[in-house]
Structure 1
Amino acid sequence: MSHTSPASYLVWGIVSAIIFIFLVYHMYSFDRFRCLRWNHNAGAFKRIMTYSYLLGVPMIMTFALGSAAIKYRQGFIVFEGAIVPKPYQLWPEADQKAIFPLMLMFTVAWSFEMITHLEELCFWYFVVKSSGQQNWFRSRYFRVWVVGSCCAITYMPLLTILTRHDALKSEAFTFLGGSIGSLCLTLCFAPILWAFPEFLAGLKSAGVDNGTIVRLTKFHELNTIRVIFRFIFVVPLFTLGVDGVRAHKHINEYMIWTDFLTMISGFGCGISSALTLVIFFPRNIEDEIAAKEAAREKRRSRRSASLIGVGGEFSSQVGILPPADYYPPSIATEQPIQYTVLPSLDGHGQPTSPLSTPQVVHKEWHYDRARDVHVAMSETRLTPVRRPSQKRHYLQKRSSVNAVVHNFTSPIDVS
């Protein structure tokens, strides 16, 4: 941040802000933010993976926007006939003191990113290499993730803290140290991507259900795209870091290269983070539509039941009954209602028909509000919410595929 232009960090800030908006929208659509509750995430592993990833995105956005604000406030100067961003040595003391907190926030967020990438790497190796009923938390891959996560959360902030006396040196070593770790993780993903098609073919021959094959195929495609954008994120920062720690700098002295590499890295970081969000919290559109239809039908049935109840109470209170054909035959009972029919009279007051006495006519209908509500509720069909199909227990015993594959939904949703 100390020598790049304001526009480079502004682009990074805009990209990270868009990703943050997408994160909020996706989490709301996923389960209305219920996954963010502490009690919702059972187990320390899922809590660590959920909060470390979700905290990393706003931290990177704060670093980028804060750096852009300071850089624009300081502006440019003319140095040896060229217009360059004002060096941090000429900044006010308050702005100079802001460099270290912003850079430390960026390194912590980068550590969270490496924890996320390392977990995915170890998980996919566990899925491809293990078999039978082996448990993820008792595997060597889980232990590798624990040790690697402790190293990532330690060495990245430590680099920034030990070099904080020189902003340029701190930035160079932070970029170099973080990019080396992320580059190694990204390169280790290549064997997984190469072996995954053969792994999927083995699952089909083992009789794994088609729904699981479809989900794994989708995650394989997303992982392939994300690995490409990880390279776009890491390689530019690795280039700037290597050039920054050398005595004679060939790239960092030219603003066009620093801006280009910084902007490209911002796009790679943002897009790879968005793909990680989709993989960690996958949405099932079919289930969401079914749930919305069920909720809509439930509200509609309640509304119709309340209207029928209000109409029946009003009729009974005022003593007015609707005509016989108002209600369908399905809600009529066998209890007869008696009506008295008087004979017609002529001008002299004599009956015009042979009837000399009133007759009683039986009408075979009677309004029963309780039965009406029961019929209305029974006619409302609620669409059930479908859950991902699970393989039968006997197939899991016979198959050599690990049990986690049959119920796979997300790399962090394992037990």
Structure 2
Amino acid sequence: MSASYTSPSCYLMWALLSCTLFAFLIYHLYSFDRFKCLKWNDGPHSGAFKRVMTYSYFLTIPLFMVYAVGFSVIKYKEGYIALPSVGIVPAPYDTWSPTARSFHFPLMLCFAIAWSLEMVTHLQELCFWLFLVSADADRNHWFSSHYFKAWIMGSIFAILYMPIIAICTRENALKATCTFLAGSLGSLLLTILFMPILRKLPALLDNLRAEGADDGTIIRLTKFHELNTIRVTFRYLFTIPLLILGSSGLNPPQHVTGNTFWSDLCAFAAAIGCTASSGITLIIFFPRSVESEVSRQSARQRESESCQSKSPDLDLSSKQYVISTSSETVAMGKCVTITRPPPIRPNRLREEDVELGGIGTPPPHYGIPNVPSMQPNRKTGDEVELGGILSPASTTLNFSDVEPSGRSNNHTFVNSTIYSYTSPISCVLLHPSCVNMN
């Protein structure tokens, strides 16, 4: 897609879709955590890696929007021109005003930087999932893996080569198609490399079910598989049309770029693919939990209502109690809220893990080993039978061999980090043996 070939309506569509995507970005991040994820110190796990991934992705969409809106204004301002042997076509770069020409290189540089940052995001997710499905249980630290090192090297290359190509072709607007050719080749390669992961995920889900993974893990991975399948389809829709335009612009017989219909068709398809894939990436990197949001909102509402009531009585039917510590506290409008912790819901044991008819044992979620029971002293006739400590029954499950997430420790097929997966940029910061955070 070159500014010399495409029509003004093409850039107008790019501008509308990019602005819509930016509005969705603002809405989603506000609903996600009220923009707390954009803070420099976002919790105890906001290290350099998470900052780089968050800010690089947050800059990608605005840069795409600046590129599309800028060229849309230029193309409509320059309009069309009638060529004797061609007909009425969009005004070529040579006929632009000096002001419009001065904006060509900055806008192309914005597009190149945005595309390089997007490739950094896609490469990180590719390396992260290759790490999850390939790493052994004994080597399950993301930052010490060779996949993390490959992401660093690939990211440095992507950040450098795209702007360099835009700088080297700034003197000739017709050679700007090299930027689209280089970017589409890099993105298409990442998309193709992601296909084996999509093929492995169904078997991975079956393996997790066999190992007794909790429903939350299965649900998150199934949702990721469906979203990423759709996103990969749109990424093909984004990269292949730009690859056609980029390669056609370098050849002397410009069959595609010289034809307004095919040029606009490829550009329209690329705009739809870029917008849809970027929106799904936003959902995957910053996943919202509507259930958790409703629970937090209800808790805040109950707390505000209890504070307004200022009642010294305890409401035993509620999860919160309002206690007035003194008359002075009530006069100042203060209240103390004590929140009763939610009941612990143990994970269900599989029938093959424990035999029926055994004594009651604590579920594995508590992390309590099989504790021996105590027998009190008993009087049998004139004699007293002394009690003691009984060894645990052999039919009960040894909970020291069960990990906190409720799965047996005999798994050898997947990395344990996958059990705590919530997002490619947040879950990797947690220890692999962490429990489900949702």
Which category describes the TM-score, using the shorter chain as reference length?
Answer: 0.7 to 0.9
Give matches, 1:191-340, under 5 Å.
191-305=196-310
2:119 pairs with 96, 114, 118, which one?
A: 114
- C-alpha displacement of 1:210: 1.5
1:34 pairs with 20, 26, 36, which one?
A: 36
Q: Which moved more, 1:41-50 or 1:188-197?
A: 41-50
Which deviations, in whole Å up to 9, do the C-alpha atoms of 1:61-97 show, x marking residues without a partner?
1100110001001111111262111111111111101
Aligned letter for 1:42? Answer: S
- Relative to structure 1, the CA distance from residue 394 to residue 215 in structure 2 (aligned partners, 3 Å threshold; closer, same or farther) is closer
Give matches, 1:87-236, under 5 Å.
87-133=92-138, 134-170=140-176, 172-236=177-241
Which deviations, in whole Å up to 9, do the C-alpha atoms of 1:265-316 show, x marking residues without a partner?
01100010000000000011111000000101111111111xx69xxxxxxx
- C-alpha displacement of 1:260: 1.1
Contact residue 14 and residue 271 of structure 2 kept, 8 A: yes
2:20 is matched with 18
Aligned letter for 1:86? Answer: A
Q: Which moved more, 1:41-50 or 1:96-105?
A: 41-50
Contact residue 2 and residue 88 of structure 1 kept, 8 A: yes
- C-alpha displacement of 1:131: 2.7
2:404 is matched with 392
Give the alignment's TM-score, normalised by structure 2. Answer: 0.76
The CA distance in 1 between the partners of 2:339 and 2:56, in whole Å, is 42
- C-alpha displacement of 1:2: 2.4
Corresponding pairs, count: 354
The CA distance in 1 between the partners of 2:342 and 2:232, in whole Å, is 38
Whether 1:73 and 2:77 are equivalent positions in the alignment is yes
Larger Rg: 1
How much identity, in percent, do the aligned residues show? Answer: 46
Q: Secondary structure at the match of 1:283?
A: coil
- C-alpha displacement of 1:394: 8.2
Q: Which moved more, 1:129-138 or 1:251-260?
A: 129-138
Aligned letter for 2:193? Answer: C
- Relative to structure 1, the CA distance from residue 75 to residue 396 in structure 2 (aligned partners, 3 Å threshold; closer, same or farther) is farther
Q: Secondary structure at the match of 1:84?
A: strand
The CA distance in 2 between the partners of 1:379 and 1:298, in whole Å, is 7
Which deviations, in whole Å up to 9, do the C-alpha atoms of 1:23-50 show, x marking residues without a partner?
1000001000000001116211111111
The CA distance in 2 between the partners of 1:378 and 1:138, in whole Å, is 46
- Give the structure with the higher percent helix: 1
Structure 2: tracts of 5 or more residues without a match: 317-324, 348-364, 366-402, 430-438
- C-alpha displacement of 1:396: 6.9
Q: Secondary structure at the match of 2:252?
A: coil
2:381 is matched with none
Contact residue 293 and residue 383 of structure 1 kept, 8 A: no
The CA distance in 1 between the partners of 2:343 and 2:74, in whole Å, is 51
Give me the CA root mean square deviation. Answer: 2.9
Give the alignment's TM-score, normalised by structure 1. Answer: 0.80
Whether 1:63 and 2:71 are equivalent positions in the alignment is no
